Amino acid sequence: MEKRFAGKVAIVTGGSRGIGEAIVRRLASEGARVYATFNSNEEKAKAIQDELTNDGFSVRFLRVEITSEQSVKELVDEVIKEVGRVDVLVNNAGITRDTLLMRMSEKDWDDVLDTNLKGAFLCCKAVCRTMMSQRKGKIINIGSIVGINGNPGQVNYCSSKAGIIGLTKSLAKELASRNILVNCIAPGYVETDMTEKLTEEQRNAFATMIPLKRAAQAEEIASVVAFFMSDDANYVTGQVLSVDGGLAM
């Protein structure tokens, strides 16, 4: 694959599986130096790191708890110590704790908002100073179409993803004068461990609603991340791009 991202440094949160893993593989294969985070399943993270390193790519996994300001700061400090810059941050890590509002506990709410929204906020804040002094940078947030459309049984998750859109647009306005571009990708239904939890019935119902009549593969989200990271998207900021097979039209 063409090495469009040679010399670029990218941080990808939640890179050890699903969409995050596909993003790590895609950016590394295009020559980026990738720092990916995991918070569980160390063996899987190490296996991906070893495989990609053996293939000649630059990937390092670090254990990070993205709900902790200290842990996120240590990640960014480590990247700066090693390579002195951050070109791209991909806020991908996210969780679900689905249930109807009447049954949703305060903890279900807090866990999802803390990981999906506060985690992204902390990561943006941690890379911001470096990107501002570089007068260049890109932040790519992984939202969801349910942050636009809503979804029953997911008031916590949808609120967090709607929040990601607000974060994206506000930060895009705050940082545009420093040439830092902030965009959001809103995937529809993607086949990953996260959607494995859905029942067969729920999955079929989703598939029939999607104009393209199929779920996305994680690689189809990663390719849009690569677009935002590329110079082809240097005049795009504050945007939310649905990558959903037409679901949210």
Ligand X SMILES: NC(=O)c1ccc[n+]([C@@H]2O[C@H](COP(=O)([O-])OP(=O)(O)OC[C@H]3O[C@@H](n4cnc5c(N)ncnc54)[C@H](O)[C@@H]3O)[C@@H](O)[C@H]2O)c1
Comparing CB distances to ligand X, the nearer of 63 and 136 is: 63
Query: Residue type at 104?
Result: M
Cα separation, 245 vs 149, whole angstroms: 15
Cα separation, 128 vs 200, whole angstroms: 42
Shortest Å, Cβ 233 to ligand X: 19
Q: What is the 3-state secondary structure (H, E, C) of 12-35?
A: ECCCCCHHHHHHHHHHHHCCCEEE
Shortest Å, Cβ 205 to ligand X: 14
- Site of tokens 């050890």: 16
* C-alpha dist (Å) from residue 198 to 96, 98, 163: 11, 10, 24
Comparing CB distances to ligand X, the nearer of 65 and 238 is: 65
Q: Given the residues 35, 157, 189, 235, select the one marked as catalytic.
A: 157
User: By the criterion CB under 6 A, which residues form the site for ligand X?
Assistant: 13-14, 16-20, 37-40, 64-67, 92-95, 115, 142, 144, 187, 189-190, 192-195
**Catalytic residue check, 35:** no
Shortest Å, Cβ 49 to ligand X: 13
- Site of tokens 């959001």: 184
Q: What is the 3-state secondary structure (H, E, C) of 23-87?
A: HHHHHHHCCCEEEEEECCCHHHHHHHHHHHHHCCCEEEEEECCCCCHHHHHHHHHHHHHHHCCCC
Shortest Å, Cβ 66 to ligand X: 4
Shortest Å, Cβ 125 to ligand X: 15
What tokens does 47 get? 């296996």
Q: Which residues are the active-site residues?
A: 157
